[in-house]
Structure formats: structure tokens, C-alpha cells
């Protein structure tokens, strides 16, 4: 008894190739979307954000503060916490030659902006045990729930150490903005 083997060749149509590529792209897109959703969920979970902030700096914000956004990537930590009247962006980043060139403070300088800036000055203040220049900006901030702008003040400062950089951007709004921003800034203790 002899058996003959016949091989049948099937050709792949262009539509099958398109379907396979589309399926692969869909799987990659779904996986990437899942990672992005997980990142945003973790970065905006209030308890986690406050924990990140507390690893960067001790602070005392008047009223009840909550965590809004925080990331912890490698040795770098950045967190945005605050109350209705005071917001604090605090970061601690490892400094390497590339970081020094890009200046971390400039990357985040547009956070917690003021509308209608009336004046800006630089004043030396103590941050993390060293005297640093602090950019102090006063102006107004338009809020969606207010019919007229409210007074606002923003402090921007950074302290550079041998292997790390502490960044602080602090904004206070309302009639007690100046007292609040000064009180919170003076309460900062870097870690």
C-alpha cells in the first residue's frame, strides 16, 4: 500500500494580511491604553499623592489638603497637593549632567500660574537649610466659580545639592494669600 502525499498551497489574500496587522495593532493599542489608564489612576489617587509629597517635603497647608497628582519615577518624585486656597508642587529629582543642562525648575515653571500678574521680584529665603533666590509673583487668578478675579501670589524656588534638586512652586489665593504662602513656605522641611 502506497500513500501519496499531496501538499496543498494556500495563498494569503491581502485582506487576511490587513486583518492580521489590524488585530495586532488593536492588541498593542489596548495594552498601551491599559498602561496609560493605570498610570493616570495611580498618579491621581489622593492618598498615594500625599505619600509622595511627604517623602519629598514636610509641609503645613492651612485647611484640609489633599493630593491631586503625583509621580514617582526612579529616584525622582513630584507631587501636587493643596487645599482650596493653597497649592504646593514639590519635587525632588536626582541631578546628573543632563538634568543640570535642562534646568528642572524651568520645565515646571508654568505650573500654578497667575492671571493678570501685577509684579514679580526675587528675594532670598531659606529652603532646605540653604539661602536660595525665590521668585515671588503677585497678581490675580480668575476662578470659574467666582465672578471677579481673586488676589493670588506664587513662590518659585529650588535648592540644588550635590546629587539632587528640590523644587517648590507654591501658590496661595484669596484675601489671606500673602500670609498663607509665607506660612506654608516657612513650614517646608525638605527630606
* Alpha carbons 175 and 151: distance in angstroms, whole number: 6
Provide the whole-model pTM: 0.77
* Alpha carbons 67 and 48: distance in angstroms, whole number: 8
* Alpha carbons 177 and 85: distance in angstroms, whole number: 8
**How much is the pLDDT for 96?**
67
Are 154 and 141 a contacting pair, CB within 8 Å? no
30: exposed, middle or buried (C-beta count within 10 Å: 0-12, 13-18, 19+)? exposed
Are 167 and 57 a contacting pair, CB within 8 Å? no
- Chain segment 83-139, per-residue pLDDT in tens: 989 999 998 888 664 455 455 556 666 666 667 778 899 999 999 888 999 999 998
CATH topology of domain 44-190: Protein Transport Mog1p; Chain A (3.40.1000)
* pLDDT class of 180 with cuts at 50, 70, 90: very high
Amino acid at each position: 500500500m502506497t500513500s501519496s502525499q499531496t501538499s496543498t498551497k494556500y495563498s494569503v489574500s491581502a485582506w487576511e494580511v490587513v486583518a492580521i496587522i489590524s488585530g495586532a495593532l488593536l492588541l498593542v493599542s489596548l495594552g498601551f491604553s491599559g498602561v496609560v489608564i493605570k498610570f493616570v489612576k495611580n498618579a491621581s489617587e489622593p492618598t498615594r499623592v500625599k505619600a509622595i509629597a511627604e517623602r519629598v517635603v514636610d509641609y503645613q497647608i492651612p485647611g484640609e489638603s489633599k493630593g491631586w497628582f503625583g509621580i514617582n519615577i526612579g529616584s525622582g518624585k513630584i507631587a501636587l497637593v493643596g487645599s482650596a486656597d493653597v497649592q504646593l508642587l514639590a519635587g525632588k529629582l536626582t541631578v546628573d549632567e543632563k538634568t543640570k543642562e535642562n534646568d528642572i525648575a524651568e520645565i515646571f515653571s508654568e505650573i500654578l500660574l497667575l492671571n493678570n500678574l501685577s509684579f514679580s521680584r526675587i528675594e532670598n529665603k531659606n529652603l532646605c537649610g540653604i539661602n536660595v533666590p525665590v521668585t515671588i509673583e503677585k497678581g490675580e487668578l480668575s476662578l470659574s466659580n467666582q465672578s471677579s478675579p481673586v488676589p493670588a501670589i506664587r513662590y518659585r524656588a529650588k535648592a540644588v545639592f550635590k546629587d539632587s534638586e528640590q523644587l517648590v512652586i507654591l501658590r496661595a489665593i484669596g484675601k489671606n494669600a500673602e500670609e498663607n504662602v509665607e506660612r506654608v513656605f516657612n513650614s517646608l522641611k525638605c527630606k
